[in-house]
């Protein structure tokens, strides 16, 4: 019997995990269609802490647990909270156990990519739209498949095949900066440092190679693009060593989320996973869930076949996603409470 033809839109952590687990279970006709032109077309972002029970189980299902452990930074579990006015440490969680060690997103993605059969990913062939069992690519061509999996992230083009939902602005803006400075590294520690005060937050994370990413977080209008001077003015009461995180190039990241609950009627021939299914505020679970969805979907297909496997996967994934969406929406409100910020 020929192996079913499975199209996966998107070579993110979710899409690649799904392809890998399917291939491990003998599915030979799996193709990942990725809009970007190559694996290195874009810098892959910060760090991901894979949680025991979700992301770690997915990487185990992908047969890559030992390789992941060899790259994971267990010391990256350190959490520091500092006083915004004095920069003094007020809460400290030393890195203990192995619940959520950190890894650079680029390293994790490369681990998954290198594990796939050669030619699995079609780079530079983006999906424009999908219907059950059919993909129309951005170059206008179409192809048919036994199953189309939308793993194409927040602005998924596959999602329209099952749901009219689109992401909405959460009202919260992250402004990202990057640093290699010794003093800022010292303040951050080995893992994550946070400080918050009256609706403003600063959050810094050590990546591998002694690089840092920091995020200033606040409620603001969707189209606000503050300059360094405007940010420094907003954080005027903060300690100079913390305000130093607000210097350098700024990357503005307005945060979007899908409405809750986001569900759909089971539709044979197409399904979604990860952010395409349940985009939520980035409070440390999105990538874990994307990988967990991916492994669950692939394992369900391996056990029950495509038709029943997708149905079984959706019956587990959808309630789990709603629960995580509700928790992260509440967490975002808690993290950056309502406060009118000048825009």
Ligand X SMILES: Cc1cc2nc3c(=O)[nH]c(=O)nc-3n(C[C@H](O)[C@H](O)[C@H](O)COP(=O)(O)OP(=O)(O)OC[C@H]3O[C@@H](n4cnc5c(N)ncnc54)[C@H](O)[C@@H]3O)c2cc1C
Counting contacts by CB under 6 A, is residue 14 touching ligand X?
A: yes
Strand partners of residue 135:
130, 143
Helices 13-24 and 105-114: angle between axes, nearest 10 degrees: 30
**Burial status of residue 187 (CB atoms within 10 A of its CB: 0-12, 13-18, 19 or more):** buried
- Using the rule CB under 6 A, is 80 a contact of ligand X? no
Contacting ligand X (CB under 6 A), which of 15, 84, 133, 269?
Answer: 15
Q: Which residues contact 250 (CB under 8 A, 6 or more apart)?
A: 175, 176, 177, 226, 227, 228, 231
171: nearest Cα among 342, 334, 333: 333
Dihedral pair phi/psi, residue 233, rounded to 5°: -70, -40
- What is the C-alpha separation between 336 and 109, in angstroms, rounded? 30
- The interface with ligand X within residues 273-312 (CB under 6 A) comprises 274-276, 282, 284-288, 290
| Candidate segments 3-11, 21-29, 71-79, 260-268, binder of ligand X by CB under 6 A | 3-11
Q: Which is nearer to ligand X, 243 or 278 (CB)?
A: 278
68 is an interface residue for ligand X by CB under 6 A: no
| Shortest distance, position 96 Cβ to ligand X, whole Å | 19
If binding is defined by CB under 6 A, does position 133 make contact with ligand X? no
- Cβ closest to ligand X, residue 86 vs residue 246: 246
Residue count, binding to ligand X (CB under 6 A) = 32
Indicate whether 87 belongs to the interface with ligand X (CB under 6 A).
Answer: no
Rule CB under 6 A: which residues touch ligand X? 9-15, 33-36, 46, 48-49, 126-127, 151-153, 157, 174, 253, 274-276, 282, 284-288, 290
């Amino acid at each position: 019997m020929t192996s079913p033809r499975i199209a996966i839109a998107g070579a993110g952590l979710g899409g690649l995990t799904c392809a890998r687990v399917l291939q491990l279970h003998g599915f030979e006709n799996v193709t990942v269609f990725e809009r970007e032109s190559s694996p290195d077309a874009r810098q892959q972002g910060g760090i991901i802490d894979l949680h025991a029970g979700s992301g770690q189980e997915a990487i185990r299902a992908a047969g890559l647990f030992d390789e992941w452990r060899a790259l994971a930074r267990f010391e990256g579990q350190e959490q520091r909270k500092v006083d915004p006015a004095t920069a003094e440490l007020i809460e400290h969680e030393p890195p203990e156990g192995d619940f959520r060690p950190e890894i650079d997103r680029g390293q994790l993605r490369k681990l998954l990519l290198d594990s796939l059969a050669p030619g699995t990913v079609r780079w530079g062939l983006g999906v424009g739209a999908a219907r059950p069992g059919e993909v129309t690519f951005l170059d206008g061509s179409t192809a048919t498949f036994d199953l189309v999996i939308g793993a194409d992230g927040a602005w998924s083009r596959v999602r329209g095949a099952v749901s009219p939902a689109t992401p909405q602005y959460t009202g919260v803006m992250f402004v990202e900066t990057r640093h290699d400075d010794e003093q800022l590294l010292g303040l951050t520690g080995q893992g994550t440092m946070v400080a918050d005060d009256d609706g403003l937050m600063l959050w810094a994370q050590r990546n591998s190679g002694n690089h840092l990413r920091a995020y200033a977080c606040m409620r603001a209008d969707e189209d606000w693009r503050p300059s360094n001077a405007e940010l420094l003015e907003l954080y005027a009461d903060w300690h100079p060593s913390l305000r130093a995180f607000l210097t350098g190039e700024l990357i503005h990241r307005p945060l979007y989320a899908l409405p809750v609950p986001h569900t759909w009627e089971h539709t044979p021939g197409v399904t979604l996973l990860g952010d395409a299914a349940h985009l939520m505020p980035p409070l440390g679970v999105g990538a874990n869930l994307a990988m967990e969805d991916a492994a669950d979907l692939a394992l369900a297909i391996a056990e029950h076949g495509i038709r029943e496997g997708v149905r079984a996967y959706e019956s587990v994934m959808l309630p789990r996603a709603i629960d995580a969406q509700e928790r992260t929406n509440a967490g975002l409100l808690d993290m950056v409470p309502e406060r009118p910020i000048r825009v």
